[in-house]
């Protein structure tokens, strides 16, 4: 079979995803099972992958999905606990009271609150929470959605306490033999490689993303100002505020990525940046001279507002004015402290990872033992397990529930119950509400990750056989040649737009980009870093994210309008990240691994 035919077969699962999701607008719950079946068929017929290897790769994908869903569940439980307690209304009111100017509210709520929620919860939570809050403040529904989507996007690379890096980069790099071998040849582990990728991604965001508050304000001002007299002029009046806010976010964000961990950039950037910006505004700096607001509601075009009126939101949001601003923030402060303790304090971190440590003169480990069966070897312990030689193959997987952020999100949510004095009904509503949001992601994630693992492992069963991902990466590298760095972020963006998730884009296209960089002799860290940035930006036009955001403000049916508007920041971001990737690759850091 010729090279062209091999590439065509390797691309079939991704083409199925493209056609069903984008062409026919099928939901991921219907499209992904078919995409997985297509990957199985191609792997079996063309790659000669034995049935037990197909099953083992699918199992590996399912376990990764369980790990992601556990994190998502913890994040949603904390988020819903905050919503049911009325704490989020306190946070929102705290921002809104600083200024009634809509431009300032976009910076504080659509940017800082959105990036914070993205860092803590991810998976569509920012738009789902912030868009209704903005609607409740009197924003047009369409403006609320556009502002929330654009405002949170810089944080998506590290969403849900680092899941796109921890699960999206580290796991596939460790699971593909050729890639893991190449990383180890440079004296690194897959974990260390993922940390370096996270740091370079933050560098791209530092250089390109600091203008995102200005982008969000500019989009709102220009497209939702007086319909008879569109002008960008009102946005120019708050350029100093927007740039100050952007820099206040990206500097601690960048420092956190380089010197702490991939879990923290979005959380640290939003909390530190918001604190600095709010302090400056309260001191009288950067406040605009004239207050800008939207036209009277009777002048709004029909497509600006859906079935939910701004006043209706007040009956949905839980009000609790007995909660102070400090108490409202406390569960997330606790979360940051717990994550720091589990990541930075080595003895505790090592114990949670399943290693043996010395405690009070005794050797202690969470691992209880190993059991060998016909299906492979199982290492089991307290809230952790590892499965090696799955079904007699060389594949392995596992989950450590004590180390992944989901556990500490749940601990913070339980602590919040006492902090806010919640009753059983409120707690039950929070947990049931969080659980009800998992069914669709469960189906979509299980099948898309199973598909990705089949594609990634399709060459593992035979020496000298390249996987589908390696074939596609090599073909793309050959097609673009030295110009490849310019399109690396765009490829990541297209991946996220297709699958609706930065994490899944990284799992599917991260190895693809690694192989392309390796074939061209380029820095794999820089190219995969651009992938993670592109995977974040692609969420601007991912149909799933747009639909979910529009649903929260009663505006289903305006997906095309939102996507067209969001193409503006997407083009800006992918072009300029591409330029910086070229400069880093060929001019500034040509020797980076």
Q: Given this model, what pLDDT does residue 19 score?
A: 86
- What is the per-residue pLDDT for 278? 93
pLDDT digits (tens, 9 = 90+) for 229-276: 788 999 999 999 999 999 999 999 999 999 988 888 999 999 999 999
Residue 32's pLDDT band, with cuts at 50, 70 and 90, is confident
294-307 pLDDT, tens digit each:
998 888 888 888 77
* Residue 367 pLDDT greater than 70, yes or no: yes
48/12 Cα distance (integer angstroms): 16
How does pLDDT run across 540-565, given as a tens digit for each residue?
Answer: 987 667 777 777 677 766 777 888 89
Measured between alpha carbons, how far is 189 from 205 in angstroms, rounded to an integer?
Answer: 25
pLDDT at 315: 40
For residues 52-66, give the mean pLDDT: 92
Which residues, 6+ apart, have CB-to-CB distance to 45 below 8 Å? none
Residue 509: pLDDT over 60: yes
Residue found by looking up tokens 């990872």 in the block: 353
Instruction: Give me the mean pLDDT over the 350-365 stretch.
Output: 78
- pLDDT tens digit sequence for 89-116: 787 777 777 888 999 999 999 999 899 8
Q: Which residues does residue 372 pair with via DSSP β-bridges, in sequence order?
A: 377
Evaluate if residue 394 carries a pLDDT over 50. Answer: yes
| Whether the Cβ atoms of residue 216 and residue 110 lie closer than 8 Å to each other | yes
Tokens of 31: 């499209």
Structure tokens at 7: 């590439």
Q: Could you report the per-residue pLDDT of 401-431, keeping only the tens digit for each? A: 887 778 888 999 999 999 999 999 999 998 9
535, 565 contact by CB (below 8 A): no
Structure tokens at 447: 């099948």
pLDDT confidence bin for 433, thresholds 50/70/90: confident
Beta bridge partners of 385: 380, 399
Mean pLDDT of 366-387: 87
Beta strands 376-381; 367-373: pairing state:
antiparallel
Position 521 pLDDT exceeds 80: yes
Mean pLDDT over 478-501 rounds to 87
- How many percent of the chain have pLDDT more than 90? 42
Tell me what the mean pLDDT of segment 367-382 comes to. Answer: 87
Q: What pLDDT digit, counting tens, does each position of 302-346 carry? A: 888 877 666 544 444 455 557 888 898 898 888 878 877 877 677
How far is residue 348's CA from residue 533's CA, in Å, rounded to a whole number? 31
With the C-alpha atoms ordered 46, 47, 48, 53, is the resulting torsion angle positive or negative?
Answer: negative
Examine the pLDDT at 499 and tell me if it is beyond 80.
no
Please provide the average confidence, as pLDDT, over all residues in the chain: 86
> What is the per-residue pLDDT for 573?
96
Between 299 and 593, residue with greater pLDDT: 299
* Confidence at residue 308, expressed as pLDDT on a 0 to 100 scale: 62
Q: Are 107 and 245 in contact (CB under 8 A)?
A: yes
C-alpha span between 280 and 424 (Å, rounded):
40
User: pLDDT above 70 covers what percent of the chain?
Assistant: 94
What is the helix (H) or strand (E) element at residue 377, kind and residue range?
A: strand 376-381
> How many Å apart are CA 533 and CA 527, to the nearest integer?
10
Rounded Cα gap, residues 409 and 75, in angstroms: 6
Tell me which range, 24-28, 124-128, 425-429, is most confidently predicted by mean pLDDT. Answer: 425-429
> What pLDDT sits at residue 420?
92
**pLDDT for the residue 507:** 85
Stronger pLDDT, 366 or 584, i.e. the higher one:
584
**Residue 313: what pLDDT?**
45
Residue 224 has pLDDT above 90, yes or no: yes
Reply yes or no on whether the pLDDT at 497 is more than 70: yes
pLDDT, tens digit, 9 for 90 and up, residues 276-287:
999 999 999 999
pLDDT tens for each residue of 474-489: 888 889 999 999 999 9
Reply yes or no on whether the pLDDT at 59 is more than 90: yes
Instruction: Give the integer Cα–Cα distance in Å for 508 and 176.
Output: 12
* Mean pLDDT, range 480-502, rounded to an integer: 87
């Amino acid at each position: 079979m010729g090279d062209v035919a091999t590439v065509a077969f390797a691309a079939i699962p991704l083409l199925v995803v493209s056609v069903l999701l984008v062409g026919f607008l099928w939901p991921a719950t219907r499209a992904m099972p078919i995409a997985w079946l297509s990957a199985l068929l191609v792997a079996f017929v063309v790659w000669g992958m034995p049935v037990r290897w197909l099953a083992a790769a699918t199992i590996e994908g399912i376990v990764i999905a369980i790990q992601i869903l556990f994190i998502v569940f913890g994040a949603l439980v904390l988020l819903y606990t905050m919503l049911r307690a009325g704490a989020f209304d306190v946070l929102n009111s705290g921002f809104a009271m600083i200024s009634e100017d809509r431009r300032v509210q976009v910076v504080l709520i659509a940017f800082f609150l959105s990036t914070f929620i993205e860092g803590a919860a991810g998976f569509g939570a920012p738009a789902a929470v912030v868009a209704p809050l903005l609607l409740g403040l009197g924003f047009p529904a369409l403006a609320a959605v556009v502002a929330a989507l654009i405002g949170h996007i810089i944080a998506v690379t590290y969403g849900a306490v680092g899941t796109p890096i921890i699960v999206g980069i580290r796991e596939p790099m460790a699971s593909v033999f050729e890639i893991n071998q190449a990383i180890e040849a440079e004296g690194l582990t897959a974990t260390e490689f993922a940390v370096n990728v996270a740091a370079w991604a933050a560098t791209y965001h530092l250089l390109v993303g600091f203008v995102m508050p200005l982008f969000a304000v500019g989009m709102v001002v220009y497209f939702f100002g007086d319909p008879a007299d569109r002008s960008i002029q009102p946005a120019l009046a708050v350029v100093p505020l927007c740039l100050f806010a952007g820099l206040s976010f990206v500097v601690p964000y960048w420092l956190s990525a380089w010197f702490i961990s991939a879990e923290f950039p979005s959380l640290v950037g939003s909390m530190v940046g918001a604190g600095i910006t709010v302090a400056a505004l309260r001191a009288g700096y950067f406040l605009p001279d004239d207050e800008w607001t939207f036209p009277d509601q009777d002048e709004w075009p029909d497509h600006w507002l859906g079935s939910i009126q701004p006043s209706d939101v007040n009956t949905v949001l839980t009000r609790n004015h007995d909660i102070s601003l400090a108490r409202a923030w406390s569960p997330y402060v606790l979360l940051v402290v717990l994550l720091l303790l589990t990541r930075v304090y080595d003895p505790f971190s090592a114990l949670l990872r399943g290693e043996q440590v010395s405690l009070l003169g005794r050797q202690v480990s969470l691992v209880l033992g190993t059991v060998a069966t016909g299906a492979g070897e199982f290492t089991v312990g307290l809230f952790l397990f590892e499965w090696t030689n799955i079904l007699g193959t060389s594949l392995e997987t596992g989950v450590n529930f004590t180390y992944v952020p989901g556990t500490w999100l749940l601990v913070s949510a339980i602590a919040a119950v006492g902090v806010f004095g919640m009753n059983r009904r409120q707690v039950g509503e929070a947990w049931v509400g969080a659980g009800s949001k998992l069914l669709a992601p469960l189906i979509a994630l299980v099948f898309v990750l199973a598909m990705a693992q089949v594609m990634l492992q399709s060459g593992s069963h035979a020496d000298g056989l390249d996987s589908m991902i390696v074939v596609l990466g090599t073909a793309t590298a050959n097609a673009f040649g030295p110009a490849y760095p310019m399109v690396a972020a765009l490829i990541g963006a297209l991946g996220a737009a297709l699958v609706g998730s930065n994490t899944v884009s990284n799992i599917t296209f991260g190895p693809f980009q690694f192989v392309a960089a390796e074939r061209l002799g380029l820095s794999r860290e820089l190219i995969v870093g651009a992938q993670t940035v592109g995977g974040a930006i692609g969420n601007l036009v991912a149909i799933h994210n747009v639909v979910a955001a529009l649903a929260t403000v009663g505006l289903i049916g305006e997906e095309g309008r939102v996507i067209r508007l969001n193409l503006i920041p997407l083009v800006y971001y992918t072009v300029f990240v591409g330029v910086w990737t070229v400069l880093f690759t060929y001019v500034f850091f040509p020797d980076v691994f």
